Structure 1
């Protein structure tokens, strides 16, 4: 007598999968953690990369896209001792349409044995700062770096034109020199030469190295120590948004029409290539981490499903004896592993979305989420579970009923 072919409906298959998972709820939850981490990391990576890229664009537009740097590369021959930048370099460049500020600066090297101190050499109360940089900068440089003052003021063209010996201290240099306020008109001694401190910088938007520097007017520096030596001069130019590229092409001819090759101009990089590079670098790094988490999750699901097969060999043998085919056993264990993967994908997508919103809120950014990534995340978890369950399900289908029932 031929027995009717056994069948298993999708409803029965789903019920069996849920029952198998609920037999060991704690183990099932821990098994799904790997998939949760993998899918959550994937969602968080794609969202945070897009969110950070939008902020990079904004910051690039505010700072880097409006900044041009010009370096003095003139050959230092006996016939050409001075800098490539003329004395009126600031005003010449600031007359160009689109320029907001421009200034020349360089590092001054004191003679061996001379240091920056808060008192004259040999004074018992003098504090010597061996880490501070001495920077000669035109008044335009201080406008270009957009400083925030802690106290006092910055020098201007009046101090430049009259060769005034005044100084502005960066916050770090002022702290090391013990100058915390401007009461009593404190002075710094550059070797044996006193300079009255008229301002202390709290912060700058550009050139953060100035915060650890003692900054003096360009004219006074040239009068005392001469033009730039081994450390060539550099001009910082700030422009209106969109004008930097044009300004970069005009500056050499405006400053040195006789020798434009004595100046090297560094225009801002292309924001599109910058954004693409950042997205690629961040994306590749974090997607690799997400893939590792998914592999760990798949191994965990495979291991748990294989253990369940060994533990339930008696149940499998009974099902086979009652007429269940190998395909039914395969479907049952694939359904269990797929359910674990789907659950991990759903929870991971939720956690990834929450992470993106939380990070964006803490940074006061606008979160950027890809609907396609969120929609496909549970499917990715499902696929991970299915792949992880293939081998355990195949092992279960190979169990012979008689052998299983004897155990």
Structure 2
């Protein structure tokens, strides 16, 4: 070969379009092997997405459960003055507390002067320690309470002589089913329903609840809240606690008692921190396992084609062109496998969460990290053996075929 021919050969370059077409020859002509390689990559990425998504869904489920238990519930009640006697909340307390920015829901109960008995023949002193309270319509919603039987006070029931009993109240009065009547405030009231036990507000178990307008009109209630229940944003509970007393009674905040669900808040923060660490650890392990699988698939695929590499070198292909070809094949295979693994992992997470009754939560970073990791790892795993084969002489590459 003359020096001019050798110089022309060294100057041969592949256009980008030719390189792309050359890089897709392998996936198009070796479909089964390409499909198996992409499947191995997809399973690795699916494992990463599934592990992190299931752990994230479990975390979301636990956090919601803690919120339901009252980690963001604040109770505001009258405190004691200098004479150690309870100081009623101002009439504006409920409205002012509801105006606090992070407060999501607010409700209240109000005191009355009425007593409740099984019938009009029971002696007045036998009250069974039952309290009659006025209740807002959204009390059950804010406290995440439920009815054991019957129904709750609706818009029409607020103005009628009807009542909802706590579970222990119904037991003490001998009420077995809705529709029975009790003697309340000197007149007969129909029992609409009985509350189920509630861990957030156990004080309601020994109460008889009536509509707010009915209590004000007939049972001596003055319309002032005796207890205000707040649902605040879970991340802003400490800030709401800090201003709740001053908001309820700006003139005398020291006479307002504000509950502090510190134990539940600490449990929520600890749970979130621990589970976040667990998700990251599992993601790291899954990425490591998936990366090893991807690397093994790409190395084997490239080494199997050393004969082809030797033949192309013998026909004049440059080492850089061969390396670029196999790098492009690795990237395409990694991209296909990464996208497929992402879809498979997301479907797995949603299916598992649906079966467990959890909220599905796929960490957003995995939606981009999955395919990106597959492409990067596939490229890193594919370029080394490709460069090694490209540096080999044609005779050695053909001999190994």
The two structures have a TM-score, normalised by structure 2, of: 0.51
Determine if contact 1:305/1:333 at 8 Å carries over to the other structure: no
Determine if contact 1:337/1:389 at 8 Å carries over to the other structure: yes
CA–CA distance in structure 2, aligned partners of residues 350 and 393 of structure 1: 30
2:227 is the alignment partner of 1:235: yes
Judged with a 3 Å threshold, the aligned counterparts in structure 2 of structure 1 residues 156 and 183 are, in CA distance, closer, same or farther, namely closer
Of the structure 1 ranges 305-314 and 91-100, higher mean CA displacement relative to structure 2 is found in 91-100
Number of aligned residue pairs: 311
2:338 is the alignment partner of 1:342: no
Q: Which residue of 2 aligns with 1:181?
A: 177
CA deviation digits over 1:44-69, x for unaligned, max 9? 89xx99xx9xxx9xxx9xx999x752
Matches within 5 A, 1:113-132: none
CA deviation digits over 1:360-390, x for unaligned, max 9? 9999x9x9999x9978975664334323323
Task: Could you tell me which runs of 5 or more consecutive residues in structure 1 were left unpaired when the two chains were aligned.
Answer: 106-133, 160-165, 187-195, 219-233, 269-276
CA–CA distance in structure 1, aligned partners of residues 34 and 174 of structure 2: 64
Q: Find 1:303's aligned residue among 270, 291, 296.
A: 296
Matches within 5 A, 1:303-342: 303-342=296-335
Judged with a 3 Å threshold, the aligned counterparts in structure 2 of structure 1 residues 380 and 10 are, in CA distance, closer, same or farther, namely same
Q: Which residue of 2 aligns with 1:169?
A: 166
Judged with a 3 Å threshold, the aligned counterparts in structure 2 of structure 1 residues 216 and 156 are, in CA distance, closer, same or farther, namely farther
Q: Find 1:215's aligned residue among 189, 202, 206.
A: 206
Judged with a 3 Å threshold, the aligned counterparts in structure 2 of structure 1 residues 168 and 217 are, in CA distance, closer, same or farther, namely closer
Judged with a 3 Å threshold, the aligned counterparts in structure 2 of structure 1 residues 345 and 199 are, in CA distance, closer, same or farther, namely same
Determine if contact 2:80/2:87 at 8 Å carries over to the other structure: no
CA–CA distance in structure 1, aligned partners of residues 13 and 325 of structure 2: 12
Matches within 5 A, 1:120-159: 139-140=133-134, 145-146=139-140, 149=147, 150-151=149-150
Judged with a 3 Å threshold, the aligned counterparts in structure 2 of structure 1 residues 359 and 310 are, in CA distance, closer, same or farther, namely closer
CA deviation digits over 1:243-294, x for unaligned, max 9? x89864232456xx4xx435343699xxxxxxxx999999887676566555
- How far is 1:146 from its partner? 3.1
Judged with a 3 Å threshold, the aligned counterparts in structure 2 of structure 1 residues 94 and 336 are, in CA distance, closer, same or farther, namely closer
Of the structure 1 ranges 279-288 and 375-384, higher mean CA displacement relative to structure 2 is found in 279-288
Q: Find 1:29's aligned residue among 38, 44, 48.
A: 38
CA–CA distance in structure 2, aligned partners of residues 395 and 379 of structure 1: 25
Q: Find 1:388's aligned residue among 378, 381, 389.
A: 381
Judged with a 3 Å threshold, the aligned counterparts in structure 2 of structure 1 residues 184 and 350 are, in CA distance, closer, same or farther, namely closer
Q: Which residue of 2 aligns with 1:251?
A: 248
Determine if contact 1:101/1:239 at 8 Å carries over to the other structure: no
- How far is 1:331 from its partner? 1.9
The two structures have a TM-score, normalised by structure 1, of: 0.50
CA–CA distance in structure 1, aligned partners of residues 388 and 44 of structure 2: 23
Judged with a 3 Å threshold, the aligned counterparts in structure 2 of structure 1 residues 343 and 158 are, in CA distance, closer, same or farther, namely closer
Match of 1:146, SS state, is helix
Determine if contact 1:98/1:239 at 8 Å carries over to the other structure: no
Judged with a 3 Å threshold, the aligned counterparts in structure 2 of structure 1 residues 252 and 281 are, in CA distance, closer, same or farther, namely farther
Q: Find 1:103's aligned residue among 102, 109, 113.
A: 109
Determine if contact 1:136/1:216 at 8 Å carries over to the other structure: yes
CA deviation digits over 1:83-131, x for unaligned, max 9? x354xx58674586969743379xxxxxxxxxxxxxxxxxxxxxxxxxx
Q: Which residue of 2 aligns with 1:69?
A: 75
For the aligned residue pairs, the C-alpha RMSD in angstroms reads: 6.3
Of the structure 1 ranges 393-402 and 306-315, higher mean CA displacement relative to structure 2 is found in 393-402
- How far is 1:343 from its partner? 0.9
CA–CA distance in structure 2, aligned partners of residues 24 and 64 of structure 1: 54
CA deviation digits over 1:127-185, x for unaligned, max 9? xxxxxxx99766146756236653277799999xxxxxx98234x9989x997624666
Judged with a 3 Å threshold, the aligned counterparts in structure 2 of structure 1 residues 184 and 197 are, in CA distance, closer, same or farther, namely closer
- How far is 1:342 from its partner? 1.5
Judged with a 3 Å threshold, the aligned counterparts in structure 2 of structure 1 residues 392 and 201 are, in CA distance, closer, same or farther, namely farther
Judged with a 3 Å threshold, the aligned counterparts in structure 2 of structure 1 residues 135 and 235 are, in CA distance, closer, same or farther, namely farther
Judged with a 3 Å threshold, the aligned counterparts in structure 2 of structure 1 residues 210 and 266 are, in CA distance, closer, same or farther, namely closer
CA–CA distance in structure 1, aligned partners of residues 346 and 320 of structure 2: 38
Q: Which residue of 2 aligns with 1:15?
A: 24
CA–CA distance in structure 2, aligned partners of residues 18 and 141 of structure 1: 70
CA–CA distance in structure 2, aligned partners of residues 31 and 173 of structure 1: 63
